Amino acid sequence: MPAIKVERQMLPMFASPNQGARFYNPELPQTEPFVPGHRTCAGCGPSIQYRMTSKAAGDNTILVGPTGCMYVANSSYLCTPYNVPWAHTQIGSAGSFTAGVAAAYEAMIRKGKWKGPFPNIICEAGDGSASDIGLASISGALYRNHDCLIICYDNEQYANTGIQASSRTPYGGMTTFSPPGKMVPEAKSLYPKDLARMMAAGHPHCYVATASVGYPIDLMNKVRKGLNHKGAAYIMIYTPCQKGFVYETPRSIDLGRLVVECGLYPMWEWDPEKRKFDYSFRPQNMRPVSEYLKLQGRFGHLHAEHVATMQKFANMQWKMMGVELPDALVRAADVKNVRDMGAAQAAEAVALTV
Amino acid sequence: MTTALAQKKKVRINGCVASAQAAKYADVDVITAYPIRPYTATMIALAQMVANGELDAEYIVADSEHSQLSIAHGASSSGARVFTGSSGVGVQFAYELYSPISGTRMPVQMMIADRTLDPPGDFGSEHTDALSTRDMGWLMGWACDAQEAFDNHLLGYRIGEDRRVLLPQMVCQDGFFVSHITTDVELPDTGQVREFLPDYKHPYPLDPRRPVSHGPQIMPEQGPPLQLERARAMEGAVPVIEQAHEEFARIFGRRYDPWIEEYMTGDAEVVFFLQGAHGVTARYAIQHMRQRGAKVGLVRLKTIRPYPTDRVKDVLGRFAVVGVIETNLGLGSVSSGGVLYAEACAALYESAQRPLVVSFMAGMGGEAIVLKEFYWMTQKMLEAKKRGKIEKRTHWVGFED
Ligand SMILES: Cc1ncc(C[n+]2csc(CCOP(=O)(O)OP(=O)(O)O)c2C)c(N)n1
Ligand code: SF4
Ligand SMILES: [Mg+2]
């Protein structure tokens, strides 16, 4: 029997400016492939992301969920929030199970066993799955270029097991496996694995991007670009977790913007055609890292020198993106100035309470 | 239906190629490969078939056996017929996936050409690789030659994909003795295969038109019903296996007892009980020994999952002494030898006539069991019969006088 040609979907981009976080966008699809009523925590960044991603993808979609919060806290027996087909897979099988789904559809459509346009096949892997135990399986799927989108929803830790350090946990981040103490006052002493860049460098034929829940339209457009790209795509998305980050739950979206404004989560796209990084995304503001850190309990143990160290790290990221550093940020990387800033803020707070 | 017998043909191939041919006849959709000897030869053959356009399938070179099995899981969950395989440590590298695949009731098929684990890690056949997964909910059995391997693959799909079963299958053959020994194999007509093996249609695949959730997280009290269902699927496979073998005999003209092969057991006093390729050498040795008056026979277990408990009980209960040839390692087990002994004894426990049972650690490291050793083992069994008592539970053959 002659092979049947596989028809692919093409999703249009949203025209709205990519900075808009909190306004009604009439272009957004009505469909909710990820419905409310699940058991994730209030303000859960990964589930906010899940809703945006699946909305952007639409109904001709299959979701794959490796073990992690987006499996455990979402699905309970006979009651799951997925309105499109969804399958659990092992935490180390993110890329491989997804590849299997994609391969099955290639073969079934070609051999006339399934009729219709190729579905969007999306894997929602946590950072523990994506940066550690499932790294090879994802690299395999990207390398072999299956037509699928692999998302790392990055809450910078193993959340579901009770907050442990992953390769994505930032320097200074307190987790139950990286507690602060006399010998390690900064808590996590290693820097996060540069995961998305590693994926772009190693699989240059893939569409690769970073995104954040702070920028929903940008996030959804990147999802659509990843899905439209024929072949494999990878997006790493900043998704705060209030249980591990310890912040006020209504501030998830704020954190999603602050992390970018503070230079701690560079936003970029890798263009597989031009084989180039696109660093043109610019947040509305640039701020010192302390603005981001002070909202989160997981950084509450940090001393001035640790904050300065993180500022140095952020400044390097700004430079990497080709952004000119304002003097204030250069000064903030000096521990003495961090102390002065801290003292000034404390004085201000005391003045207010008096 | 009269099938086009004209298209049948005899070819001279080894077990690995027979398995590849079976996958081709089954018109599999997705193949996942990762190299490890000796099963690699199956995937080499399939790669060439796909490259030549003889078989239309996605051929995926996975990044590990763990990925191999999870690709297979994803593809089977989507509604594709899937073929994969491994040997030795490769079988174990994928261990995490065996329960999820049977637990979600996906009839993935995995070809095993046995190899010793590390150590010793040599290329020889020891059944420990596959046997270590025996309780994970996969249908499992050993072929003794290439023809039987070919046939078992077709039977496996037919049984595993049956809606009353929906379980994955491990279709096993001994490394080298089957996988790399060339014999005559009859390849069927494709029409016969189509008649025997309908298209794979899972009742609940991942299909955007009929959304389903596979494998959600559950509460502790929701676990036991699922486990029970899986246990029942295993038990429920028994009549399906028997029916499939009947159909197989009708369509292909080769009749197998699905559970047990008996050889020269009519008047036997002592029998060997084993799986796989050593059955072939055992038959020869038995002829030899019978010419010298020993009343010895062979009982070969063909399917170990589901375990044919009553058959084993009834068959083995007829003899005075049973010598289990293990070809696997059960360190610290009941017999401190292999794992087959314990199950044979458990099956016999309810028998009114319990034979003496002794376990032989033979064929270890993939060594051939030679005639001299069959004589030695038979001698041990005959002595036990005379004495009315075994000398000891486990003999390491070749290490004792
Ligand atoms: C093989 C294996 N090892 C460990 C676990 C335990 N485990 C369950 S959820 C989880 C955390 C996953 O972290 P991540 O991928 O970051 O997702 P998150 O929980 O943060 O959403 C772990 C380690 C497991 N399920 N399987
Ligand atoms: S622990 Fe974190 S990631 Fe998990 S459900 Fe709660 S907020 Fe979401
Ligand atoms: Mg995580």
Distance from CA of A248 to the nearest CA of B (A): 28
* pLDDT above 90: percentage of residues in chain A: 87
pLDDT at A2: 75
Yes or no, beta carbons of A62 and B73 under 8 Å apart: no
Q: Indicate whether A77 pLDDT > 80.
A: no
Per-residue pLDDT band at A23 (split at 50, 70, 90): low
A100 neighbors B74 (Cβ within 8 angstroms): yes
The CATH superfamily label for domain B9-252 reads Thiamin diphosphate (ThDP)-binding fold, Pyr/PP domains (3.40.50.970)
Yes or no, beta carbons of B63 and A92 under 8 Å apart: no
Q: Interface pTM (ipTM) of the complex?
A: 0.96
Yes or no, beta carbons of A111 and B56 under 8 Å apart: yes
Sorted by sequence, the CB contacts under 8 Å of residue B112 that are 6+ apart come out as B39, B85, B86, B87, B91, B129, B130, B170, B171, B172, B173
The domain ranges of chain B are 9-252, 260-396
Yes or no, beta carbons of B208 and A84 under 8 Å apart: yes
Mean of the per-residue pLDDT values for chain A? 94
Nearest CA to ligand 2 atom 6: A41
pLDDT at A76: 78
Rounded to whole angstroms, how far apart are CA atoms B76 and A101? Answer: 8
Query: Do the domains at B9-252 and B260-396 have one common CATH topology?
Result: yes
Residue A173, in any domain of the structure: yes
Which among A59, A77, A99 has the least Cβ separation from residue B60? A99
What are the backbone angles phi and psi of residue A206, rounded to the nearest 5°?
A: -95, 155
Rounded to whole angstroms, how far apart are CA atoms A284 and A252? Answer: 18
Ranges under pLDDT 70 in chain B: 1-6
**pTM tops 0.80, yes or no:** yes
Which among B62, B70, B80 has the least Cβ separation from residue A104? B80
How many domains, chain A? Answer: 1
What topology does CATH give the domain B260-396? Rossmann fold (3.40.50)
Residue from A91, A168, A239, A243 whose mutation best tests the ligand 1 pocket (most atoms within 8 A of CB): A91
Task: Provide mean pLDDT across the span A270-299.
Answer: 96
Residue A32, in any domain of the structure: no
Yes or no, beta carbons of B71 and A61 under 8 Å apart: no
Rounded to whole angstroms, how far apart are CA atoms A205 and A233? Answer: 9
Rounded to whole angstroms, how far apart are CA atoms B328 and A117? Answer: 49
Which among B29, B70, B96 has the least Cβ separation from residue A107? B29
Q: Which of residues 144-173 of B touch A (CB under 8 A)?
A: none
Q: Indicate whether A21 pLDDT > 90.
A: no
Q: Which of residues 89-148 of B touch A (CB under 8 A)?
A: 96-97, 100, 104
Residue A133, in any domain of the structure: yes
| Nearest ligand, CA A128 | 1
Q: What's the DSSP call for residue A133?
A: I
Domain CATH code at residue A91: 3.40.50.970
B-chain residues near A3 (CB < 8 A):
56
B-chain residues near A106 (CB < 8 A):
58
Alpha carbon of A193 to ligand 2 centroid (Å): 21
**Locus of tokens 């946990």:** A169
Q: Where are the alpha helices (DSSP H) in chain A?
A: 45-57, 69-72, 94-110, 127-128, 135-144, 195-202, 216-228, 242-245, 252-261, 290-293, 304-320, 327-332, 335-353
Yes or no, beta carbons of A106 and B216 under 8 Å apart: no
pLDDT at A342: 78
Query: From the CB of A73, is ligand 2 less than 6 Å away?
Result: yes
B138 neighbors B98 (Cβ within 8 angstroms): yes
pLDDT at A278: 97
B223 touches chain A (CB under 8 A): no
Between β-strands A276-278 and A269-271, what pairing exists: parallel, antiparallel or unpaired?
antiparallel
Alpha carbon of B399 to ligand 1 centroid (Å): 48
Which among B73, B79, B208 has the least Cβ separation from residue A59? B208
